């Protein structure tokens, strides 16, 4: 399943407001800036920081 292209264009990372791109064959959306992956549940992107996966654990930006 892939995400609607128009929807993808309006979606942005809630943290850095950067664009997101499809990963994992549409099962996730990754922020191009911070690399967080937001889950897509039943075709609905969950754009919540708390739900996002971070690729590099232990690397904090402060
Ligand atoms: Zn981000």
Quote the radius of gyration of the chain (alpha carbons, Å): 11
User: What's the pTM value of the predicted model, to 2 decimals?
Assistant: 0.82
Is 22 within the bounds of a domain? Answer: yes
Question: What domain range includes position 14?
Answer: 5-51
Is 57 within the bounds of a domain? Answer: no
The CA 40 to ligand 1 mean position distance, Å, reads 16
Look at residue 1 in the predicted model and tell me its pLDDT. 62
Is 46 within the bounds of a domain? Answer: yes
Could you tell me the strand order of the sheet in which 20-23 lies? 20-23, 28-31, 37-41, 44-45
By the CB criterion, residues less than 5 angstroms from ion ligand 1 are 13, 15-16, 31, 33-34
pLDDT, mean of each 10-residue run, the chain (62 residues): 86 97 95 97 94 75 56
């Amino acid at each position: 399943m892939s995400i609607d292209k128009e929807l993808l264009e309006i979606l942005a990372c809630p943290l850095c407001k950067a664009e997101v791109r499809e990963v994992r064959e549409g099962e996730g959306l990754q922020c191009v800036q911070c690399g967080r992956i937001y889950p897509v549940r039943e075709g609905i992107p969950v754009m919540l920081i708390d739900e996002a996966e971070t690729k590099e654990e232990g690397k904090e930006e402060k």
